Structure formats: structure tokens, C-alpha cells
């Protein structure tokens, strides 16, 4: 019989609730309180196995079977499932940020903004590639193949191509979330602060925050992106 991940619940003492901030953005979750404990439910398989959840200290995982709670991996019931009032996690967990100076450079009472690995699957839609190795393919590609794509010359060696389907070329892949562009396999260490980080770093509504690596980024203006065509590629690179 297949495991029903919806039957899994996580328990944590109320005094440790601040650690739940890193999963607050999972809007499918619901939480409830019982005495000195917080219960969380509605996890999916990826969330239960994720680094974000596994790294939260002081938690216990239970499986609810026939209204009985079994500690994960145990055949002996812990107790009956209590009657709880469930609330969406984003509504139940308030955000308290007034004590922080959200400064990128990590001075006293600041949060260092960086990227960390994630096991969540992401769809790559941005490709950083070498212009010399890409030129032969792009110069001979059909207009239909290039039409969905936009591009930006980064320096004398590389270009950034945004859109899908991505070109079948070797390069560094990135994924996009709102105004952020992240390397595939990485995301912000503090997801709870995503909107604040975005507000601090973005100067106008046309700009994107491109995270080049785990701890460095640059700002890209959407107005600088050009439709990817054979003529725009050759003209920009001054090819015959």
C-alpha cells in the first residue's frame, strides 16, 4: 500500500515556533495549536524530504492512521488525534522584522543575503553561454526556433538568453521566480524575507535581480533585453 503523505503531521513546541519561518511560504500547509505545541499538516512528499523541513530543530513527525498518531517509523500509537482548529500557515505565523537592518553587507544586526541548495525541482528558463560556441547554432537556427527568446550580451565572452524552449547548448542554467533569477539548484536562504530583499535591491519595475552565484548578484534591466534573431546576434557581435 502506497504511503499517504497527507497523513503526516509535524509537531514542535510553541517556544520554538520561530524556526517555522523557513517553511512559511509553503501555502498548502495548515497549523494548529494544542497546549504548548504547534501541529503542522498537509505536507507533500517533496516537502517532507526537503532540506528546509529536515533542518528545523525540535520537531517530531507523526503519521495519523485511523485517528491515532504514530511516531514516524513506530508501530505503537502515541495518542489519539486531538480535535484541532486548523489555520493556513501564512495567516497563523506573523512576520516580525522590526529588529533587523536588512543590509546585504552583514553589519551589526543585519541579515546576510545568500543562496543555499534546495532539493525542490525548478524549471530552467535562462541560459548563460559562451558566445563563440553558440554562434554556429544561432546563426543557422530557424526564426521560429529563436522567436520565443530574448537575449543580452554580458561581456566579450558570454550572453544571457531568457525564454523557452531553451537552446540545446552547453551553458549555466538558471530558473526564474518573479523578479529573481537563480542558478538551478539554489534559492534564497531566507525565503521569508524574499519580498523585503526584492524591495531593497530593485530600483524600478523593469529590473531583474540576477544571482550569478551563491553570494553575488547584479541588476538587469528588462529594457536591455533584445529579441533573439540571427540579425540581432550578428549585428551585436559584428559578424559578417
Higher per-residue pLDDT: 193 or 210: 210
Report pLDDT for 56: 83
**Tens of pLDDT, residues 65-78:** 998 999 988 888 88
Model confidence at 192: pLDDT above 50? yes
Sort strands 180-183 and 158-162 into parallel, antiparallel or unpaired: unpaired
How far is CA 43 from each of CA 54, 69, 99, 136, 215, rounded to the nearest angstrom?
A: 13, 16, 31, 47, 30
pLDDT of 182 strictly over 90: yes
Helices (runs of H) and strands (runs of E) counted in the chain: 7, 17
Structure confidence by residue, pLDDT tens digits, 14-45 = 888 878 877 887 889 999 988 889 999 999 88
How sure is the predictor about 10, in pLDDT bands with cuts at 50, 70 and 90?
A: very high
C-alpha cell at 204: 524600478
Residue-level pLDDT at 111: 56
Element (H, E) at 62: strand 59-65
C-alpha pair distances (Å), 120 with each of 45, 52, 98: 11, 10, 30
* Chain mean pLDDT for the chain: 83
Taking only the tens place, the pLDDT of each residue in 146-175 is: 999 999 988 888 899 999 999 999 999 999
Look at residue 240 in the predicted model and tell me its pLDDT: 53
Q: Report percent pLDDT > 90 for the chain.
A: 33
- Tell me if 176 sits within 8 A of 126, measured CB to CB: yes
Say what the pLDDT of residue 93 is: 73
Alpha-helical (H) ranges within the chain are: 45-49, 51-54, 89-92, 131-139, 143-146, 194-201, 230-237
- pLDDT, tens digit (0-9, with 9 covering 90-100), for 195-230: 777 777 766 788 888 888 877 778 888 888 999 999
Q: 41, 108 in Cβ contact below 8 A?
A: no
Residue 10, beta-bridge partner list? 40, 61
pLDDT at 99: 43
- pLDDT tens-place string over residues 95-143: 443 344 444 444 344 556 778 888 778 899 999 999 998 999 999 999 9
The predicted model scores a pTM of: 0.55
Q: What's the whole-number mean pLDDT along residues 228-238?
A: 89
Cis preceding-peptide flag for 165 (omega within 30 of 0): yes
Amino acid at each position: 500500500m502506497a504511503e499517504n503523505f497527507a497523513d503526516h503531521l509535524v509537531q514542535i513546541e510553541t517556544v520554538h515556533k520561530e524556526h517555522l519561518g523557513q517553511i512559511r511560504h509553503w501555502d498548502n500547509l495548515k497549523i494548529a495549536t494544542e497546549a504548548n505545541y504547534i501541529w503542522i499538516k498537509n505536507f507533500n512528499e517533496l516537502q517532507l524530504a526537503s532540506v528546509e523541513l529536515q533542518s528545523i530543530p525540535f520537531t517530531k513527525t507523526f503519521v495519523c492512521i485511523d485517528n491515532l498518531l504514530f511516531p514516524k517509523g513506530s508501530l505503537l500509537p502515541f495518542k489519539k488525534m486531538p480535535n484541532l482548529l486548523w489555520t493556513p500557515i501564512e495567516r497563523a505565523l506573523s512576520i516580525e522584522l522590526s529588529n533587523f537592518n536588512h543590509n546585504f553587507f552583514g553589519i551589526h544586526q543585519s541579515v546576510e543575503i545568500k543562496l543555499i541548495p534546495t532539493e525542490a525541482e525548478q524549471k530552467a528558463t535562462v541560459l548563460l553561454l559562451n558566445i563563440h560556441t553558440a554562434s554556429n547554432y544561432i546563426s543557422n537556427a530557424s526564426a521560429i526556433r529563436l522567436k520565443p527568446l530574448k537575449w543580452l550580451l554580458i561581456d566579450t565572452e558570454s550572453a544571457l538568453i531568457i525564454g523557452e524552449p531553451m537552446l540545446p547548448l552547453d551553458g549555466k542554467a538558471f530558473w526564474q521566480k518573479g523578479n529573481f533569477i537563480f542558478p538551478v539548484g539554489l534559492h534564497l536562504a531566507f525565503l521569508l524575507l524574499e519580498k523585503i530583499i526584492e524591495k531593497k535591491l530593485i530600483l524600478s519595475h523593469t529590473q531583474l535581480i540576477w544571482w550569478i552565484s551563491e553570494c553575488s548578484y547584479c541588476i538587469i534591466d528588462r529594457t536591455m533585453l533584445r529579441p533573439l534573431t540571427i540579425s540581432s546576434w550578428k549585428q551585436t557581435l559584428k559578424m559578417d
